[in-house]
């Protein structure tokens, strides 16, 4: 089997494509913010267009944006980061591809949780890197643990997301610390996907950089900043050698991240606006959880992101079959759990609350009515 034969479809995108041609569908499948970015983002975009900022930036990104992101780490987390360690990427997807390329050779192993964001494993397959899955569930708080890493034995990197997709769970501080310290002790890389930071509802999120400056942190503007189509992310790398390796990859694969998006992001760090975004999604989480907590078994209360991980086996159907029935018969689009792995994921669906309250209530009503027929 060739490396590309192992790349699986991103099922949620197939469902979105199918749902878009049906009409009158409540979209609860895709994790895309429906809110606008901070007004200062649109002002910066308009200014960049008027000033004809159409030309390549340096491959590592605009220095002003790298400085701004470094300032963000100090202001938001109290962590000092040199702007020279910040690398601007074409979305977090570009960051994952670059990180895997500079950290691992073909045949080496990256540890991932099951369930987890499906594109991680596909990036590994494209590069002939071997994803090694560890099963996480309610008993582990849907987190990779130190025992998992000890059981895996030999690996090159571990890649976590906190808050996690699809569960919305946030890594506990002590577990996060222990994983990072273990990786440092064993000479392994620790990659932390923090794309849902800023969308954490009941306690303060911690960046992996608070525990070690050797952690590789990936984040971006798609979720909390409400800028999904701008395709802009960033990485924090530990040293100049790794930054230079990333620069070489970006020069060849991307030239630079989207230029207008970079100028737009100079207006993104409006903390007052971003706090309002967080509060809106907190209310949406509470609304949808209350609407559906008696319809499905929800064993991962979402501390962050904008998803409910809902167990459906009480209805005698696997998650994929149920998601198809909900789409075709109830006109509600959700994502089958099998998109996120093999660890009992056929018993789940993922429901997104990245929509306004009226849409969520209508979607929940259609789901309840479907089961009451």
What is the distance in angstroms between the CA of the first residue and the CA of the last residue of the chain?
46
- Alpha carbon separation from 205 to 176, 180, 202, 245, 356 (Å, rounded): 11, 16, 9, 29, 24
Q: With a cut of 80, say whether residue 373 has pLDDT above it.
A: no
Q: With a cut of 80, say whether residue 205 has pLDDT above it.
A: yes
292 and 176 fall within a common domain: no
Mean pLDDT on 339-360: 96
The model's confidence at residue 6, banded by pLDDT at 50, 70 and 90, is confident
Find, among 209, 137, 141, 150, the residue nearest to 175 by Cα. Answer: 141
Mean pLDDT on 264-292: 98
228 and 241 fall within a common domain: yes
246 and 295 fall within a common domain: no
Lookup: tokens for 27: 């979209």
Q: 214, 237, 265 — which closes off a domain? A: 265
Local structure of 158: helix, strand or coil:
strand
- Number of independent structural domains in the chain: 2
The model's confidence at residue 16, banded by pLDDT at 50, 70 and 90, is confident
Q: 265, 294, 311 — which closes off a domain? A: 265
112 and 21 fall within a common domain: no
CATH number of the domain within which 331 lies = 3.90.1150.10
Beta bridge partner(s), residue 352: 307
Percent of the chain with pLDDT strictly greater than 70: 100
Mean pLDDT on 113-131: 96
77 and 183 fall within a common domain: yes
257: left (phi over 0), alpha (psi -120 to 50) or beta: beta
Q: With a cut of 80, say whether residue 357 has pLDDT above it.
A: yes
The model's confidence at residue 12, banded by pLDDT at 50, 70 and 90, is confident
For residue 279, give its domain range. 3-36+271-371
129 and 183 fall within a common domain: yes
The model's confidence at residue 269, banded by pLDDT at 50, 70 and 90, is very high
Q: With a cut of 90, say whether residue 95 has pLDDT above it.
A: yes
Find, among 260, 230, 210, 240, the residue nearest to 94 by Cα. Answer: 230
CATH number of the domain within which 78 lies = 3.40.640.10
């Amino acid at each position: 089997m060739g490396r590309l034969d192992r790349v699986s479809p991103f099922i949620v995108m197939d469902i979105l494509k199918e749902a878009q041609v049906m009409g009158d569908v409540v979209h609860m499948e895709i994790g895309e913010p429906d809110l606008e970015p901070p007004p200062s983002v649109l002002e910066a975009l308009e200014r960049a267009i008027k000033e004809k900022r159409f030309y390549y930036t340096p491959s590592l990104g605009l220095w002003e944006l790298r400085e701004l992101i470094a300032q963000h780490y100090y202001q938001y987390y109290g962590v000092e980061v040199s702007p020279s360690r910040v690398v601007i990427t074409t979305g977090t997807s570009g960051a994952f591809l670059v990180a895997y390329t500079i950290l691992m050779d073909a045949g080496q192993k990256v540890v991932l949780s099951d369930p987890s964001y499906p594109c991680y494993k596909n990036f590994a397959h494209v590069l002939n890197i071997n994803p090694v899955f560890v099963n996480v569930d309610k008993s582990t708080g849907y987190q990779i643990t130190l025992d998992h890493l000890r059981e895996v034995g030999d690996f090159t990197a571990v890649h976590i997301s906190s808050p996690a997709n699809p569960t919305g769970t946030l890594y506990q501080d002590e577990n996060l610390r222990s994983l990072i310290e273990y990786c440092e002790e064993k000479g392994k890389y620790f990659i932390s996907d923090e794309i849902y930071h800023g969308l954490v509802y009941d306690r303060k999120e911690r960046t992996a950089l608070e525990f070690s400056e050797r952690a590789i942190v990936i984040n971006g503007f798609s979720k909390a900043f409400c800028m999904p189509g701008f395709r802009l992310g960033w990485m924090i790398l530990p040293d100049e050698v790794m930054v230079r390796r990333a620069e070489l990859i970006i020069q060849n694969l991307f030239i630079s991240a989207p230029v207008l998006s970079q100028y737009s992001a100079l207006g993104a760090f409006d903390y007052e606006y971003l706090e309002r975004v967080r509060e809106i999604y907190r209310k949406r989480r509470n609304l949808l959880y209350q609407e559906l907590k008696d319809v499905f078994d929800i064993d991962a209360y979402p501390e962050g992101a904008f998803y409910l991980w809902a167990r459906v086996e009480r209805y005698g159907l696997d998650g994929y079959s149920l998601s198809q029935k909900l789409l075709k018969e109830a006109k509600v689009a959700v994502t089958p759990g099998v998109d996120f792995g093999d660890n009992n994921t056929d018993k789940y669906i993922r429901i997104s609350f990245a929509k306004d309250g009226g849409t969520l209530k209508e979607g929940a009503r259609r789901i309840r009515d479907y089961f009451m027929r």
